[in-house]
Amino acid sequence: MTIADNGTDTLEVVGRQDRPDAPPSLLLERVAYAYPDGHQALFGVDLRIGRGERVALLGPNGAGKTTLVMHLNGILGGGDGTVSVGGLPVVKDTLQEVRRRVGIVFQDPDDQLFMPTVRDDVAFGPANLGVRGAELDARVDRALAAVRLGDLADRPPYHLSFGQRRRAAVATVLAMEPEVIVLDEPSSNLDPASRRELAQILLSLDVTILMVTHDLPYALELCPRSVILSDGVIAADGPTKEILSDPDLLAAHRLELPFGFDPRVLG
């Protein structure tokens, strides 16, 4: 069941208008993929996300969400179908540029933070892009300020709290000044205060956001549009509020609202 499609009607909700002819930030066509061990995770995904949109990618465990995310910057690929980012097809020759445009915040911040200090870690991405010296320092400071971690810059990442580590992971991506930020389950394992801080940071950013989550209230809070991925295909696509108001649809894809939460009574 598909509720709505191309998402153009959600653009104004975000309040950022682009030239109508601008290529979509993310365009996936018939993306299918099997892992080398033979397990097939994606069965032909079509998805189009316009510039400046904030979209939630919902789906049960094992639906293929992480696998899909890995396709967005060419870490996985070679299956069927095509991915393009801002009009640029993701192929071997464009990988470096694609990875500059698409920043991924992984599920586990410990996978993302591996340098001796937070500052080194945030500098890792831009340094790979060839940024050096004062410009590199400026970028790192900007990114750390955006996630409010400026005063922890010289500490080792594993001495931070979990919420701080997740924010540091966001900073590592921000420092690359991407056009699209993809977050894999950003609210998992966060306490309510950290969850709210992260939401404020994400809302303050002027980029296209694709947020993988099964935290439905979080999706409603941050993303005007939602997409359900189930068994490796897109099962629904539409305004978040409508999707969350359809109990049958949610149940069919093993998604559950927290007890007592009713999207219809909210704004």
Partner 1 sequence: MHVPDGFINPPVSLAAGVLAGAGVALCLRGTRRELDERTAPLAGLVAAFVFAAQMINFPVAAGTSGHLLGGALAAILAGPWTGALCVAVVLLVQSLFFADGGLTALGVNITDMSLITVLVGWAVFKVVVAVLPRTRVSVVAASAVSAFVAVPAASLGFVGFYALGGTSDVPVPTVLAAMTGVHVLIGVGEALITGATVASVLAVRPDLVHGARHLHRRLELRTTAGDAAPAPVAHPGGVRRFVVGSLLVSLVVAGVVSFWASTAPDGLNKVAADTGVGQTETAHAADGSPFSGYGTSGVADAFASKAVAGVTGVLVTLAVAGGVVVLVRRRSARRAAATTAPAQAGAGTYAYSVTTAGSTAPDARSDGPAVPSAADRLQARYSTQAARENGAADTAAEYAAQAARGGGGAAGAHRLYRHAESPVHRLSPQSKLAATVLFVFVVVATPREAVWAFAVYALLLAGVTAVARIPAGLVLRRMVVEVPFVLFAVLMPFLSRGEQVDVLGVSLSVGGLWSAWNVLAKATLGVVCSILLAATTDLRALLVGLERLKMPSLLVQIMSFMVRYGDVIGDEMHRMRIARESRGFTGGDLRALPVVARSAGALFIRSYERGERVHLAMLSRGYTGTLPLQGEATTAAQWRTALVLPAGALVVALTAWVLR
Ligand X SMILES: Nc1ncnc2c1ncn2[C@@H]1O[C@H](COP(=O)(O)OP(=O)(O)O)[C@@H](O)[C@H]1O
Contacts with Mg ion by CB under 5 A lie at 66
Distance of alpha carbon 11 from alpha carbon 19, whole angstroms: 12
Taking CB under 8 A as the binding criterion, the range among 10-18, 108-116, 242-250, 252-260 that sits at the site for partner 1 is 108-116
- The distance of closest approach from Cβ of residue 267 to partner 1 in the complex, given in angstroms and rounded to an integer, is 32
109: closest CA among 13, 31, 50, 173?
Answer: 173
Site string for partner 1, 112-131 (x = CB under 8 A): x-x-x------xxx-xxx--
Nearer to partner 1, 13 or 129 (CB): 129
Binding residues for ligand X (CB under 6 A): 35, 37, 39, 41, 59, 61-67
Question: Dihedrals φ, ψ of 5, to 5°?
Answer: -130, -120
Check if the beta carbon of residue 103 is closer than 8 Å to that of residue 173.
yes
Nearer to ligand X, 175 or 210 (CB): 210
Distance of alpha carbon 141 from alpha carbon 163, whole angstroms: 19
Residue 254, CA distances (Å) to 58, 113, 230, 231 in order: 10, 32, 9, 11
Note the residues at the interface with partner 1 (CB under 8 A).
30, 32-40, 43-44, 70, 73, 75, 77-81, 96, 99-100, 103-104, 106, 108, 110-112, 114, 116, 123-125, 127-129, 156, 158-159, 161-162, 172-173, 176, 189, 233
